[in-house]
């Protein structure tokens, strides 16, 4: 049986400077983009994005303006939702003591903050408990749950708990509600309610939700039950900034209702009404309206910093506080911790890359493990390894007889399911996660065997198959057409992120001048006959071949592949190209 022929390389680029083959839209997408442009009277570059998403000409307007009214699912479509909300409201009405047990990342912190803020609006309080990453690890543990159950009648586990059978069983006499999104086993913990779109008995229609979205839906259901009893309800729309932050930071796919949640959440965040996010934006030096990029790369890492290398509850406390002074103090502390985290990450990254490279980048799984690698940064380093190699990556910090690690996957390879199988086979002490990210604990003496087996499982899903890596591009764009107006129109098709990448255009046969920024970045000025130069930025250019090739390019022409974006600086908006790849044009 012969394999299908490869589509023609875009602009005949079979191997760019980074070794990738450029592939453009297929004929069906080109025709659909032209039909949308004609019917909706929209710019063709924008229509190429819509075509790539499978949007029809009739649906273009609604896609560009997604609304929660049209896209928000009925909370009761999830198992145990009505039961969870009813128990939650009973605790509120009876002034029961409520504890919130949350994960230490952005999703967990945002989920906890949503509940704390809602309860505050109802005149109630809750105890916040976030486990220490190093001393307690991920998720509920028996000692913590027993301690909470001794003084609280309701424990709500957010962004965790689905696999915590023993700790949940130890919660007697308290009731436990689990609001989570991580992959579940066939048998669920003995909780009062387990609301999780990734339960085995769910249909998967909402599998893309993060935990904060599950919590938000539970509050929607709680408000509905309150209204049925003719009671006042807290404002849920004002909470969407937290849902948007969690969705982007947890790399949830920006499809379906997630698009609407993030779009609306960004609008709420732009009002700067939440003390914690306002203070965090200020220390992050954000001087423009928030974007999904800002959520993922400016705000998210700082919220995460406390859970990674500092005090685990700092992020959740920042997001939940109503006090400006406390918000400023917490934001400053998290900003400082984030700087320290970057320094630790860089050291581990260099060691992990050297180790993984010696082992080989062409295997189905790229992995590295080292003593004294801080467990708070192994997930970040795994993400860097994945980006560098185009393979699923695992990075493990070893301490004594055990190692705690984190993994990141690539599109089409379900890492979470593979990790769960490895744990079921006894090769891991514990492990779990979702398709794109997972965590694990492994015995040192089982590490090589576990990684070999994991590589086999991932190979069965297609990871590491031979072939040149491809770079998807959405079409040509001449420099004079790369205007601020076009960039702003493209943003209207967002937000962009996981499963909804920003469009990538190729500027053909351009000449440029370049200057280095810091140690590894490059700032470009693209010559534009008949118009002003187009600015471009190439982050990490000197970590590979792009920086050296462009720094002294002279008059040599290049094809540049990248994404248009609005660069806001000093009160001015300008268009710039964020460079992804380069190919010689001569």
pLDDT confidence of 1, banded at 50, 70, 90?
A: very low
> What are the DSSP calls for 268-304, one per residue?
HHHT--SHHHHHHHHHTT--S---HHHIIIIIHHHHH
| CATH architecture for residues 360-460 | Roll (3.10)
Instruction: Kindly report, as residue ranges, where domains of CATH 3.90.1640.30 are found in the chain.
Output: 73-336
The pLDDT of residue 161 is above 60: yes
Note the pLDDT tens digit of each residue in 251-284. Answer: 898 999 999 999 999 999 999 999 999 999 999 9
| CATH architecture for residues 10-24+473-584 | Beta Barrel (2.40)
The residue with greater pLDDT, 493 or 330, is 330
The residue with greater pLDDT, 328 or 528, is 328
The pLDDT of residue 364 is above 80: yes
Select the highest-mean-pLDDT range: 38-52, 218-232, 554-568: 218-232
What percentage of the chain exceeds 90 in pLDDT? 75
CA gap 204, 278 in Å, rounded: 35
Helix, strand, coil percent values for the chain (each to nearest 5): 45, 20, 35
Bridge partner list, 245? none
Bridge partner list, 368? 395
The residue with greater pLDDT, 389 or 195, is 195
Once rounded to an integer, what is the mean pLDDT over residues 437-448?
94
What 170-177 contacts at long range (C-beta under 8 Å, 24+ apart), as own/partner pairs, is 170/142, 170/145, 170/146, 171/145, 171/146, 173/149, 174/99, 174/148, 174/149, 175/87, 176/145, 177/84, 177/87, 177/88
The DSSP output letter for 5 is P
Omega before residue 33 within 30° of 0, cis: no
Say what the pLDDT of residue 561 is.
97
Note the pLDDT tens digit of each residue in 76-115. Answer: 999 999 999 999 999 999 999 999 999 999 999 999 999 9
pLDDT confidence of 533, banded at 50, 70, 90?
A: confident
Q: Which two tokens stand for residue 260?
A: 């609407």
Q: Give me the count of residues in the chain.
A: 586
Q: In 530-569, which positions are buried (b, 16+ CB within 10 angstroms) versus exposed (e)?
A: eeeebebbbeebbebebbebbeebeeeebbbbbbbbbbee
Sheet bearing 175-179, strands edge to edge: 127-129, 98-102, 154-158, 175-179, 193-195
Give φ, ψ of 470 to 5 degrees.
Answer: -110, 155
CA gap 406, 299 in Å, rounded: 21
Note the pLDDT tens digit of each residue in 492-528. Answer: 888 988 888 889 999 999 999 999 998 889 999 998 7
- Report the Cα 148 to chain-centroid distance in Å: 31
390 Cβ contact partners less than 8 Å away, ≥ 6 residues apart: 410, 469
CA gap 522, 540 in Å, rounded: 8
| ∠ CA 126-129-133, rounded to 5° | 160
CA gap 572, 298 in Å, rounded: 20
The DSSP output letter for 331 is H
Fold exhibited by the domain 73-336? inorganic pyrophosphatase (n-terminal core) (3.90.1640)
Say what the pLDDT of residue 466 is.
56
The residue with greater pLDDT, 3 or 440, is 440
The pLDDT of residue 130 is above 50: yes
Instruction: Kindly report, as residue ranges, where domains of CATH 2.40.50.460 are found in the chain.
Output: 10-24+473-584
Say what the pLDDT of residue 19 is.
87
Q: How many CB atoms lie within 10 A of CB 244?
A: 27
Say what the pLDDT of residue 468 is.
62
pLDDT confidence of 128, banded at 50, 70, 90?
A: very high
Name the residue among 123, 131, 125 with its Cα closest to residue 147: 131
CA gap 87, 90 in Å, rounded: 5
Say what the pLDDT of residue 5 is.
66
CA gap 297, 408 in Å, rounded: 17
Handedness of CA 136, 343, 297, 24 (dihedral sign): negative
What percentage of the chain exceeds 70 in pLDDT? 98
CB 33 within 8 A of CB 45: no
CA gap 220, 248 in Å, rounded: 21
Say what the pLDDT of residue 4 is.
55
Say what the pLDDT of residue 540 is.
86
The residue with greater pLDDT, 347 or 412, is 347
CB 13 within 8 A of CB 472: no
CB 383 within 8 A of CB 415: no
The DSSP output letter for 362 is T
The residue with greater pLDDT, 529 or 273, is 273
Query: pTM (2 decimals)?
Result: 0.87
Instruction: Name the average pLDDT for the chain.
Output: 92
CA gap 39, 57 in Å, rounded: 6
Note the pLDDT tens digit of each residue in 189-220. Answer: 999 999 999 999 999 999 999 999 999 999 99
Sheet bearing 505-510, strands edge to edge: 475-476, 505-510, 558-569, 572-584, 534-538, 521-526, 512-517
């Amino acid at each position: 049986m012969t394999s299908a022929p490869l589509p023609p390389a875009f602009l005949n680029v079979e191997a760019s400077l980074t070794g990738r083959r450029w592939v453009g839209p297929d004929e069906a997408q080109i025709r659909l983009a032209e039909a949308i442009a004609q019917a909706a009277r929209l710019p063709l570059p924008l229509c190429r994005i819509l075509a790539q998403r499978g949007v029809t000409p009739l649906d273009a307007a609604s896609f560009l303006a997604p609304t929660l009214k049209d896209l928000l699912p009925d909370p009761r479509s999830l198992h145990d939702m009505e039961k969870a909300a009813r128990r939650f409201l009973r605790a509120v009405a009876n002034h029961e003591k409520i504890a919130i047990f949350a994960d230490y990342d952005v999703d967990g912190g945002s989920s906890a903050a949503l509940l704390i803020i809602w309860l505050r609006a109802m005149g109630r309080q809750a105890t916040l408990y976030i486990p220490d990453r190093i001393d307690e690890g991920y998720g509920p543990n028996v000692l913590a749950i027993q301690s909470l159950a001794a003084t609280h009648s309701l424990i709500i586990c957010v962004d965790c708990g689905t696999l915590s059978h023993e700790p949940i069983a130890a919660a007697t006499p308290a009731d436990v509600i689990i609001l989570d999104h991580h992959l579940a086993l066939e048998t669920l913990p003995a909780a009062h309610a387990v609301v999780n779109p990734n339960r085995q008995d769910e249909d998967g229609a909402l599998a893309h939700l993060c935990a904060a979205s599950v919590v938000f839906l539970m509050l929607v259901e709680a408000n509905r039950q309150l209204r049925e009893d003719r009671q006042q309800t807290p404002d849920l729309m004002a909470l969407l900034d937290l849902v948007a932050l969690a969705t982007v930071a947890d790399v949830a796919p920006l499809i379906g209702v997630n698009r609407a949640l993030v779009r609306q959440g960004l609008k709420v965040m732009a009002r700067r009404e939440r003390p914690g996010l306002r203070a965090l934006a200020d220390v992050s030096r954000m001087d423009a309206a928030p974007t999904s990029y800002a959520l993922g790369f400016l705000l998210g890492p700082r919220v995460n910093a406390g859970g990674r290398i500092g005090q685990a509850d700092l992020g959740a406390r920042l997001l939940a506080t109503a006090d400006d002074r406390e918000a400023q103090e917490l934001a400053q502390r998290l900003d400082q911790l984030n700087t320290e985290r970057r320094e630790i990450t860089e050291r581990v990254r260099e060691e992990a890359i050297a180790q993984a490279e010696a082992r080989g980048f062409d295997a189905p799984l790229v992995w590295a493990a080292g003593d004294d690698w801080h467990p708070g940064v192994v997930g970040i380093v795994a993400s860097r390894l994945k980006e560098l190699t185009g393979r699923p990556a695992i990075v493990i910090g070893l301490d004594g007889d055990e190692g705690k690690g984190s993994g990141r996957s690539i599109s089409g390879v379900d890492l979470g399911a593979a990790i769960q199988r490895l744990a079921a086979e006894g090769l891991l002490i514990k492990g779990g996660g979702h398709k794109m990210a997972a965590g694990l604990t492994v015995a040192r003496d089982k590490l090589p065997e576990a990684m070999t087996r994991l590589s086999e499982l991932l190979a069965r899903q297609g990871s590491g198959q031979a072939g040149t890596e491809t770079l998807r591009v959405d079409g040509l764009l001449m420099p004079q057409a790369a205007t601020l107006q076009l960039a702003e129109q493209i943003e209207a098709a967002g937000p962009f992120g996981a499963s909804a990448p920003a469009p990538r255009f190729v500027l053909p046969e351009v000449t440029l001048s370049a200057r280095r920024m810091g140690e590894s970045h490059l700032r470009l000025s693209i010559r534009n006959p008949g118009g002003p130069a187009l600015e471009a930025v190439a982050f990490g250019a000197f970590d590979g071949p792009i920086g050296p090739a462009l720094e002294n390019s002279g008059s040599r022409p290049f094809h540049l592949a990248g994404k248009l974006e609005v660069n806001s600086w000093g009160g001015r908006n300008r268009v710039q190209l964020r460079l992804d790849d380069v190919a010689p044009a001569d």
